[in-house]
Amino acid sequence: MSALHPFSLLAIAAALPAFAWILPAPGGGLATATLALVLALVPDVRAGARVVRVAVLTAAPFWLFLLLLHDLPTTVAMGLRITTMVASFAWLVAALPPDRLVEAMVARGWSLTLAYLFAATLSAVPVLKARARRIVEAQRCRGLSPRGSVANRLRALRALALPLVLSALHEVDERALALETRGMGSGVHRTPLAAPPDRPLERAARWALLLLCLAAVIWRLA
């Protein structure tokens, strides 16, 4: 899976949610959600089991709210679609190293700033998780426990949220300065360091996915 061109990974991650919404529920959603979760378990995806757990845990609250607002068939139909979206994104984050995406985009002539925006979105989740872990450890050293009663956990959450947001905002400033000084705003076309190979078969497969999506839309509208 990691040998695939970044655009192919993006295409799969975009096609699965598209099919989930286009194909009739609940069968379509069930198939795409299952496929997205199974993709995460492909051996060379980093920490596949954890990706599945993150996807399921992230989708769970949506199921709960849907159940409160809708009947069971609607909940299942919408829930499976949302699960597909969440699982596809989680899989993409795990399977696609941001640097490969930047290299692929730059090699294709995209602007570095736009490529960075895409890649930064993918890398934001692990970065924020790592920072949150450090903040929790620091708060623990100062006697605040994130475990125990609901009140305790809420207190810990508040103590986590504020420094997390403030430090992220502070880092944005410094990172902007650092990127600028390292030539991000030079206006020159970046030299790709190791552009991932884009095989003709993969390009054809991406076009096929797009055509399949269009065909599915036409079929549903007919």
Partner 1 sequence: MRTLGLDDVTFWYPATANPALENITLDVGPGDIVALVGRGGAGASTLLLVAAGLAPRVTGGRLAGTVSRGARAGIVLPTPWTQLSGMAFTVWDEVAFGPANLGWPGHAITRHVDHALERLEIVPLASRDPATLSGGELQRVIIAGILAMDPDLVLLDEPTAELDPEGARAVWRLVRSLAGEGKAVLLATSDVDALPDVADRIVWLEQGSVRAMGEPSLLAEDALCEAGLGTTVADLWRAAALPAPYPLTVVDAVQRWR
The footprint of partner 1 (CB under 8 A) covers 97-99, 102, 112, 116, 119-120, 123, 127, 171, 173-184, 186, 188-193
Three-state DSSP state, 215: helix
Q: Which two tokens stand for residue 46?
A: 């980093």
Placement of tokens 């095989």 in the chain: 199
Q: Is the Cβ of residue 89 or residue 116 nearer to partner 1 in the bound state?
A: 116
Asked if 115 and 102 count as a contact pair (C-beta separation under 8 A), the reply is yes
Minimum distance from residue 130 beta carbon to partner 1 (Å): 8
The identity of residue 221, as a single letter, is L
Q: Is the Cβ of residue 113 or residue 152 nearer to partner 1 in the bound state?
A: 113
C-alpha to C-alpha distance for 144 and 158, rounded to whole angstroms:
11
Q: Is the Cβ of residue 137 or residue 173 nearer to partner 1 in the bound state?
A: 173
C-alpha to C-alpha distance for 65 and 104, rounded to whole angstroms:
39
Minimum distance from residue 209 beta carbon to partner 1 (Å): 27
C-alpha to C-alpha distance for 29 and 18, rounded to whole angstroms:
10
Minimum distance from residue 175 beta carbon to partner 1 (Å): 5
Minimum distance from residue 149 beta carbon to partner 1 (Å): 35
Q: Is the Cβ of residue 59 or residue 119 nearer to partner 1 in the bound state?
A: 119
